[in-house]
Amino acid sequence: MMPFLIRGAAVAATLCASFFSIFAVVAILRAVGISPERLHDPAWVFHPTTIVAILAILSAPLLVVLGARALGLRAGSLSLREAGGLQRGTAGFVLGFALKAATTLAAAACSKTIVTHSMLTGIRLADWLPFFAWYAVLLVANSLSEEIVYRVFPLEELRGAMHPAVVVVLAACAFSLVHFATQAPDLAHFFYRTAFGILAGLLYLQSRSLWLIVGFHTGWNLVAVSLSTTDWRTGGLLRLEGVSADATIWANVIGLALAAVFALRMIRRSSALSV
């Protein structure tokens, strides 16, 4: 077993390498003429360069973690095989979907005038289905990659060596910051995603289930993208206009915080926060 300080430093170095691997991939993409904005451009969804770019961004941090484990970081378990994984993944999906739907409705209720437009009007099912299928695959792949790297890996590797609450918060901050590799830095979104990361970490502590938090992450993102201003070819289903951006952020943070408090109470009852 690695001594605590060495293992802690190794995990920190792995997370830093995972973090900067995405920035490195984005820098390489820019150097060859592929901007991050293109990844969200409906006209480029099925272009080979877009597919390669997205897969590179999703796989880079995961490959760093797998490489670290190959070099000796094996204190914790990391497996896709899980008893009851499908049921837990479904439960997590329903939880994420319901929580994000609730925060969206709360934000809409705090806004003055809401206008909704279906993005599928006049779109044939045969045209929409391939785009939605690819979008669904990316949703799950993104959730799987991020939950392994920023939740399961640090919590399992430092289990018994560092207080799990500290690991949850630090990993959530890293998870939030890494999104700025492809988006403009924004303090409000940093706090929002940090709150999301903390809740996902607490859910993992309570369940020790990878697929629960992957499902939760996927359900949340499905609502977030479906009820936005994005194009139908990139996941949009219903356009909501007039919802205050500030109301959305605050509704997300408050909803996630309340859910985190509830999860924390459940964890304390099961003593899952013990070192």
pLDDT value at residue 3: 67
In a domain, 257, yes or no: yes
Token pair in block for residue 192: 């929002």
Mean pLDDT computed over 5-30: 89
Of 210, 61, 85, nearest to 145 by C-alpha is 61
Residue 253: its pLDDT value, please?
95
Give tens-digit pLDDT for 113-172: 777 888 999 999 999 999 999 999 999 999 999 999 999 999 988 887 788 899 999 999
Any idea what the Cα angle at residue 4 is, between residues 173 and 154, rounded to 5°? 30
Question: Cβ atoms within 10 A of the Cβ of 51, count?
Answer: 15
Residue 38 lies in a domain: no
Identify the pLDDT of residue 275: 45
pLDDT value at 104 more than 90? yes
**pLDDT at 159 (0 to 100):** 83
Residues 73 and 152: their CA atoms lie apart, in Å, by 13
| Mean of per-residue pLDDT scores for the chain | 89
Domain containing residue 236 = 82-270
Q: Is residue 275 part of a domain?
A: no
Residue 234 lies in a domain: yes
The pLDDT value recorded for residue 240 is 82
Output 180 or 252, whichever has higher pLDDT. Answer: 252
Please indicate, yes or no, if residue 60 is contained in any of the structural domains: no
> Does residue 138 sit within a domain?
yes
Residue 161 lies in a domain: yes
Residue 272 above 70 pLDDT?
Answer: no
DSSP 73: -
Other beta carbons less than 10 A from residue 154's beta carbon: 25
Beta-bridge partner residues of 117: 239
User: What token pair was written down for 19?
Assistant: 């973090």
* Domain annotation covers residue 88: yes
Number of domains in the chain: 1
